[in-house]
A and B are shown apart, each in its own frame.
Chain A
Amino acid sequence: MEITEKKTDKAIIAEINGRIDAVTTSDAEQYLNSLVDNNETNIIIDCKNLDYINSSGLRILIMNLKKQTARNKKLLLCNLQNNIKDVFKFSGFTNLFDVELDLDQALQLV
């Protein structure tokens, strides 16, 4: 898993590349927790090169979505691959995240 980060005046865009799996979960959790805890801003996670996520990854997302929502900031995902969209659909996560956004659309929402 590799992460690159970009800042705009309205959001931080984090591109997570590779896999959020049993091996990388703790790194992903540490990264996302500190990103959210240390920045009071909107966050967009660009998933175009995210190839895999498991239920631990979903747990990290929902925890941080709760934190962001509580302080009126957004946590958006964009460019989800089809397999990952399926994980979201089966988990009821499509109520929590719009899984059809591309990056431009996400940027317009922040």
Chain B
Amino acid sequence: MLRNKIINIKSRTSGMEIMNEQLARLVKDWEIADDVAFSMNLALEEIVTNIIDYGYKGVEDYDIIIRFTLEKHRLRIQIKDNAPEFNPLDVKDPDDLDKPLEERNVGGLGIHLVKKFTDNFSYRRSNGKNIVTLTKNLD
């Protein structure tokens, strides 16, 4: 009962719109619970935003390939890009979460949220591509 869907988006906002619409459709077709859908949408957006802003430096015409897989007990999303090598797991966790407002940074939460909202988050570099895999248990 393994199901798969692969899409290829461009590194721009309209690409992310297609990505979110695709995920919403799969959530419906695959009857994925709202919590899982929310968590994976968040993790996916944070990873892809990172690729577009830092990996591709905001250039809009690069490709990002996203594979959604429904396994028996989990949803898996694999994100592949051609940007220079970058391991999001190397991003330092924010150290100001307990600080008062005036000492808080306004950003830097994206990758931290990916860690918190997934059950597994891994990275590898293969054939000149960055490959991030996110999984979330269904129950």
Of A62, A83, A87, the contact of B104 (CB 8 Å cutoff) = A62
Question: What A residues does B97 contact at CB under 8 A?
Answer: 91-92, 95
Stretch at the interface among B34-42, B57-65, B74-82, B131-139: B34-42
When the two chains form their complex, are residues A91 and B112 in contact, meaning their CB atoms are under 8 A apart? yes
Of A21, A56, A83, A95, the contact of B100 (CB 8 Å cutoff) = A95
Chain A contact residue count (CB 8 A cutoff): 22
Decide yes or no whether A10 CB sits under 8 A from chain B: no
Question: What B residues does A63 contact at CB under 8 A?
Answer: 106
Mark each residue of chain B from 77 to 115: 1 if its CB lies under 8 Å from any CB of chain A, else 0.
Answer: 000000000000000001011111110101101101100
Of A59, A87, A95, the contact of B106 (CB 8 Å cutoff) = A59
Mark each residue of chain A from 57 to 81: 1 if its CB lies under 8 Å from any CB of chain B, else 0.
Answer: 0110011011001000000000000
Question: What B residues does A62 contact at CB under 8 A?
Answer: 101, 104, 106
When the two chains form their complex, are residues A96 and B104 in contact, meaning their CB atoms are under 8 A apart? yes
**29 A–B contacts, CB within 8 A, in A order:** A21-B20, A22-B20, A22-B45, A22-B49, A23-B13, A23-B16, A23-B17, A54-B42, A54-B45, A54-B110, A55-B46, A55-B109, A55-B110, A56-B49, A62-B101, A62-B104, A62-B106, A65-B101, A66-B102, A66-B106, A83-B35, A83-B38, A86-B117, A87-B42, A87-B113, A91-B109, A92-B94, A95-B100, A96-B104
Binding site for A on B (CB under 8 A): 13, 16-17, 20, 34-35, 38-39, 41-42, 45-46, 48-49, 94, 96-102, 104, 106-107, 109-110, 112-113, 116-117
